[in-house]
Structure formats: structure tokens, C-alpha cells
């Protein structure tokens, strides 16, 4: 492909606007050709960051106008299916922000539609796989340099959450990332999920019972504990400690500048995932664009990975009410190997 890839970005909320600015300013080989957003104000303000982009209110219209070569879906999860269906029917490559869809049944429908095409067309936006520290940790696990991986201790801390954030979103909007990245790091699928409740943070919004401790068991016996905490107040922190036979590896904590000054040591910390994972998002989008341009279409988590995460989320939501909840995943079809 000699011309820039023409991307249609669907949804110009916070994440969509961030991707529009990223594609325009930092990604090579692609441009935002269309912004698909029903809210005219949002569309206009995002278009300010995408010179030459057309605006549409429906993906079908952008496809009919032959305005796009590929689609980046950045709407909330419940709006993904109505965009995935026409984009797949048009045979367009897709980068779909997490989650693929909000439940395993609709994710399965997406898999069926995608398998009518010659090869996978959907990449799912689990950006942590593109974070350099996570990538390094994965290499360490795979190399065996520190021996076998035994357990993983993870923290996932948000300063606060919006009013729309509900109890189940602790799992479906937040731990969803660990459900993708942990099996990828450890090279083994999730077999069960359990949730424990420590003392509640009185500073949490009244509707939330949190923090929570999520225990994830992998098929290879590795046990993962995730502190999911969305009222931590001080900043945004995603960190992992991996315990090996012969060593300990830690990533993500702290993630900012260390400053020794005036008799104090201080470290800057992120306050949002958009800055904490800025490099990961840049890498993710550049690698997707490169893959689409050279015909591979996907370079990262695919729709089957998105489906596995949907199954884990359903177990996680059940686990909010107690018990060890199994995750029964079917074998990966050859189409998604
Ligand atoms: C948000 O939607 C994200 O995807 C962030 O990565 C995560 O840390 C946060 O908890 C979610 O609400």
C-alpha cells in the first residue's frame, strides 16, 4: 500500500479523541479519514485534530461513501457489535477497543461473522501487551532466566471513577485488562476466578464495595492476585511483581520521575491510564497500521482472545457474589492460531 491507510474512528469521546490526536501526530502510514460520531459537538472538536477528516453519524454511511480502509472502534463496549457487524460485512480490518463486546454470547456471534472471511480481521485493544515493561517481563518468563514463574502479584489502582462506573465494572471495565495480559505473560489460560473483599474504603462512592482482591488461577498452576482499587486518590498505578523460582521481577511501580530535592525523595506518578500507557497505545496503533498495510491485518490480541476475556469476565462477575468460579474455554480454532 503506497497511500496512507484511511482510518475511520468510531466514537470521539475521551479514548476516541486521544486516538485521533495520536494517529494525526505520531502514527506513520495512516491518517484519520473519517470520524463517526452522532454527537455533533464532539465530532467537530475531534475533527479539529484531524485535518481533512470527513464526519459521519453512522458507520454504514462512511462505508457507503468509500471513505475508509480500516476502522478503529472507540465507543463504550455495549456499542461495539452494531459497528463490528457492518465493518466485518464490508471486509474491513478493525481495531476494537476493549472489550470486544460486553458478553461471551455476542463475542461468539462476532467470531462466527469473522470466520466467514478468509482470515482474522479484528484486533482487540488490550494495550498492555504493547507496554515495553510488560513485553520485557514476558520475555523474562519465556526465557526461563529466573526459573519457572510461580505467582504474580498485581495492583490496579485508579484515583477515582466516573458516576457511571458500577460494581460489576470493577471486573468488566478494569480487571478485564488483567484477564487478557496475565495469560499472555504466563503462557497459560485462566481456569478460575475468585473475589475477596478486604475492609471497604469509606472514600469509595456509596454504590461500590471496594477495593477487591481478585484471585486468578492459571492452568499451569500460577496463582495471580490482583488488588483492584478505584478510589486510591493519589494517582493511577498499574504494577506487577512476578515471583520466579530464582528471582523476583517488578514492573510499573513507580512509573515516573524520581527527584531528590530539599531533603526529600519524591517520584512523580501518573493520574490517568492515557499517560501511563501512552507509549503502549502508540505502539499498539503503529503495529496495527503496519499489519494492515502489509496484509497481516492483526498484530496483537485477536477476537478469540477477546472472547476468552469475555468468558473470564463472566466468571469474575459471578465471583463478586462469592465462590471460586471456573472458566471453561473451548479450544482455540485453527482460524485464530
Ligand atoms: C478504564 O476503562 C481502562 O481501560 C483503564 O485502563 C483501567 O485502568 C480503568 O480501571 C478502566 O476504568
Query: What percent of the chain is predicted at pLDDT more than 90?
Result: 94
- The pLDDT, as a whole number, for residue 254 is 73
Question: Residues enclosing ligand 1, CB less than 6 A?
Answer: 158, 173-174, 177, 273
Output the pLDDT for position 2: 72
Counting residues of the chain whose pLDDT is more than 70, the rounded percentage is 99
For residue 259, the model assigns a pLDDT of 87
Superfamily of chain region 129-273+311-327: Dihydrodipicolinate Reductase; domain 2 (3.30.360.10)
Cα–Cα distance between 336 and 302 in angstroms, integer? 7
User: Which residue, by CA, sits nearest to atom 11 of ligand 1?
Assistant: 174
Q: Does 257 score more than 80 pLDDT?
A: no
pLDDT for residue 25: 97
263 CA from centroid of ligand 1 (Å) = 35
Name the residue ranges covered by the structural domains of the chain: 5-128+279-303, 129-273+311-327
Cα 174 to ligand 1 centroid, rounded to whole Å = 5
Please report the pLDDT score of residue 267 as a whole number: 85
Task: Quick: pLDDT tens for 159-178.
Answer: 999 999 999 999 999 999 99
Residue 21: its pLDDT value, please?
97
pLDDT in tens, 192-245: 999 999 999 999 999 999 999 999 999 999 999 999 999 999 899 999 999 999
Give the span between the Cα atoms of 33 and 31, in whole angstroms: 6
| pLDDT band at residue 1 using 50, 70 and 90 as cut-offs | confident
CA distance 204 to 210: 7
> Residue 59 contacts by C-beta under 8 Å, 6 or more apart in sequence?
8, 10, 36, 71, 82, 83, 86, 87
Full-model pTM: 0.96
What does the alpha-carbon distance between residue 145 and residue 192 come to, in Å, rounded to a whole number? 28
Helix-strand-coil split of the chain, %, nearest 5: 35, 25, 40
In tens, the pLDDT along 73-91 reads 999 999 999 999 999 999 9
What is the pLDDT, as a whole number, of residue 258?
A: 80
pLDDT band at 4 (very low <50, low <70, confident <90, very high): very high
* CATH level 3 topology of 5-128+279-303: Rossmann fold (3.40.50)
Strands 248-251 and 212-218: unpaired
Pocket test for ligand 1, best of 273, 275, 278, 309 (most atoms within 8 A of CB): 273
Q: What is the pLDDT of residue 70?
A: 98
Banded pLDDT at 309 (limits 50, 70, 90): very high
Output the pLDDT for position 250: 95
pLDDT at 282 over 90: yes
Q: What are phi and psi of 107, to 5 degrees?
A: -65, -40
Amino acid at each position: 500500500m503506497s497511500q496512507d491507510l484511511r482510518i475511520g474512528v468510531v466514537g470521539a469521546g475521551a479514548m476516541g479523541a486521544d486516538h485521533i490526536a495520536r494517529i494525526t501526530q505520531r502514527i506513520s502510514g495512516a491518517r484519520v479519514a473519517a470520524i463517526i460520531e452522532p454527537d455533533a459537538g464532539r465530532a467537530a472538536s475531534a475533527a479539529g485534530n484531524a485535518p481533512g477528516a470527513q464526519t459521519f453519524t453512522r458507520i454504514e454511511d462512511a462505508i457507503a461513501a468509500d471513505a475508509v480502509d480500516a476502522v478503529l472502534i472507540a465507543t463504550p463496549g455495549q456499542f461495539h457489535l452494531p459497528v463490528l457487524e457492518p465493518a466485518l460485512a464490508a471486509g474491513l480490518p478493525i481495531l476494537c477497543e476493549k472489550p470486544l463486546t460486553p458478553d461471551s454470547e455476542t463475542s461468539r456471534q462476532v467470531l462466527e461473522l469473522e470466520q466467514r472471511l478468509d482470515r482474522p480481521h479484528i484486533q482487540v485493544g488490550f494495550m498492555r501487551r504493547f507496554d515495553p515493561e510488560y513485553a520485557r517481563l514476558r520475555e523474562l518468563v519465556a526465557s526461563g532466566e529466573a526459573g519457572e514463574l510461580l505467582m504474580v502479584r498485581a495492583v490496579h489502582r485508579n484515583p477515582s471513577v466516573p458516576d457511571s462506573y458500577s460494581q460489576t465494572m470493577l471486573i468488566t471495565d478494569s480487571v478485564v485488562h488483567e484477564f487478557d495480559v496475565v495469560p499472555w505473560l504466563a503462557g497459560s489460560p485462566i481456569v478460575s476466578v475468585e473475589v475477596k473483599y478486604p475492609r471497604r474504603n469509606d472514600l469509595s462512592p456509596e454504590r461500590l464495595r471496594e477495593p477487591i482482591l481478585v484471585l486468578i488461577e492459571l492452568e499451569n498452576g500460577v496463582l495471580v492476585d490482583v488488588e483492584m482499587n478505584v478510589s486510591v486518590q493519589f494517582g493511577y498505578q498499574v504494577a506487577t511483581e512476578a515471583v520466579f523460582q530464582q528471582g523476583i521481577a517488578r514492573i510499573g511501580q513507580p512509573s515516573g520521575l524520581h527527584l531528590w530535592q530539599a531533603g526529600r525523595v519524591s517520584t512523580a506518578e501518573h493520574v490517568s491510564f492515557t499517560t501511563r500507557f501512552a507509549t503502549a497505545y502508540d505502539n499498539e496503533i503503529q503495529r496495527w497500521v503496519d499489519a494492515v498495510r502489509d496484509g497481516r491485518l492483526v498484530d496483537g490480541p485477536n477476537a478469540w482472545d477477546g472472547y476468552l476475556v469475555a468468558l473470564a469476565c463472566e466468571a469474575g462477575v459471578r465471583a463478586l457474589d462469592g465462590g471460586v468460579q471456573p472458566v471453561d474455554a473451548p479450544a482455540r480454532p485453527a482460524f485464530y492460531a
